[in-house]
Structure 1
Amino acid sequence: SEESFFLRFPVEELPVQKKTARGVCAMSLKKGDGIKSVYLLSEQTELKLSGKNLSLSRLKLAKRGGKGAKHS
């Protein structure tokens, strides 16, 4: 998120969208926060954030719709 929260969950938790669907809640956000980026984990799982390297594959696997973990 824009406030440096990360949430890792299996892509299988995302339901198939029907033509009348309006989307799904992937992450719970605080007021004023928003989704900054979405990553699909593959071979490249390193991310440089605020001058620090963050290994996305080391993030704990959670359920879709959670708050996520703060990255300092």
Structure 2
Amino acid sequence: MACCDLPIELLGQELQVGVSIGVALFPDDADDIVVLRQRADQAMYRVKQRGKGSVCSAAELPIEPPVSA
């Protein structure tokens, strides 16, 4: 994560980029790709609620029913 704290230069402008990463692992967090992605999204939004700039695993979250597309 430290590498993401470094500013980048684009077209002569210095930009500060932040990251929030949600991780879900197959088959531990879900047994199909749709639910796996939903769990990763849930973990990412949990990071954003905490204040960004971090990583959250779906294993840290309560199991929520899948959202149908």
Query: Normalized against structure 1, the TM-score is what?
Result: 0.26
Which structure has the bigger radius of gyration?
2
Whichever structure has more helix as a proportion of its residues is: 2
**Structure with larger RCO (C-alpha < 8 A, sep 6+):** 1
